[in-house]
Structure formats: structure tokens, C-alpha cells
Amino acid sequence: MIKNFITMVMVTLTIALSSLSVAYAVNLETYQFDDPQKEALFRELIDELRCPKCQNQTIGDSDAPLAKDLRDRAYMMVQQGASKQEVVDYMVARYGDFAYYRPPVKLSTVVLWLGPVIVILVGAGVILMRVRARNNAEVELSADEQAQLAALRHSNQGGSEQGESEQDKSS
């Protein structure tokens, strides 16, 4: 019974994953190239340009109609002989620096470049302060806890003296 269940799950996952790759392949099969360099440029562009609608997907990964329009536009520009920078410039002019996964470093994009570093530094600072505050906090022990601590200290001192005398005897 378990074997049948595992087989069914594996078949379902295989079908689901293969349909994703087929959908991506179908998207790219509609674009025909005579020159392998243009095809390579097109594939590079669709993997570096961000879909403005999906935001965290490239135009190559997205199924949104806008992403298809952008793929078509990139295809048309590449076929007409546009360079990578010309296509990127066109997309940035139309959709802003957000359309490119590697925005240029300038005043308006400093947050994109420094934001993650600042968040990590602030997070590390907060963690460090909390650890230090926790280590510096005085802990009040009840009378019973103080008695247990004194007993443990006394037994530990006696145990260490016995351990030292045993080591002296063995040497």
C-alpha cells in the first residue's frame, strides 16, 4: 500500500515538473534564430530582464502577458541587430531600473545595492546587543538555589583535590 502511494506521488511529481520545463521550452521554441549568437544574446537578455508584473521572475520564466510582450520586443530588437546594452536601455527607459536584475549604481539605486548590507549589519548589531545584555544581566538566586550552588562548589573543590592527589600518586 505504501509502495503504491510512493509510486503515485513520484508519478505526479514527474508529470508536474516535466510540464513546467515543457511550458518554458514551448515559450522559447516560438523564437527562431538564423544566427546562434543572436539566440545566445536573446537567452541572456530574457534571463537578465525582470518582469515588471511578476517582480521576482525574469521575462523568460514568467507566463504573464506582459513578459511575453517583453520577450517579443527583445526578440525583435535582437533580430534587427540591437546590442545587449541597447535592449537593456530600451527596457530601463520604459520600465525603470527595476526592469534589469543588475541595476547601475547611482543615487536612485543606492538602496538596492546597500540595502542588504545595511540590513545584515543592523541585524548583527541587534543580536550582539541582545547577547551582551543577556550576559550582563544579574540573576538573583533563591535561598535554596544558593544552598545548592554552595554544595556543588564544595563537592567540586573536593573532587578536584581528590583528582589532583590521584594524579600525584600515579606519577
CATH number at residue 7: 1.10.8.640
Angle CA 66–105–70, to nearest 5: 15
Do 40 and 78 belong to one domain?
A: yes
Q: How many C-beta atoms lie closer than 10 Å to residue 164's C-beta?
A: 10
In three-state secondary structure terms, 50 is strand
Is residue 21 scored above 50 in pLDDT? no
Q: Please, where are the H alpha helices in 49-171?
A: 65-79, 84-95, 110-136, 143-170
Is residue 169 scored above 70 in pLDDT? no
**CB-CB contact of 14 with 33 (8 Å):** no
**Integer Cα distance of 25 and 86 in angstroms:** 26
For residue 28, which of 87, 71, 84 has the smallest C-alpha distance? 71
Do 91 and 150 belong to one domain?
A: no
Do 32 and 115 belong to one domain?
A: no
Domain end, chosen from 107, 137, 153, is at: 107
Residue-range definition of the domain harbouring residue 6: 2-107
Q: What is the pLDDT of residues 108-153, one digit of tens each?
A: 778 877 888 999 999 999 999 988 887 776 778 888 988 998 999 9
Do 8 and 85 belong to one domain?
A: yes
Is residue 156 scored above 90 in pLDDT? no
Q: Which amino acid does the sequence have at 23?
A: A
Place of cell 541587534: 126
**Integer Cα distance of 131 and 133 in angstroms:** 5
Do 12 and 73 belong to one domain?
A: yes
> How many domains would you assign to the chain?
2
Do 70 and 141 belong to one domain?
A: no
Do 15 and 55 belong to one domain?
A: yes
Do 50 and 68 belong to one domain?
A: yes
Do 28 and 89 belong to one domain?
A: yes
Do 155 and 119 belong to one domain?
A: yes
Do 149 and 130 belong to one domain?
A: yes
* Percent of residues, the chain, with pLDDT higher than 90: 30
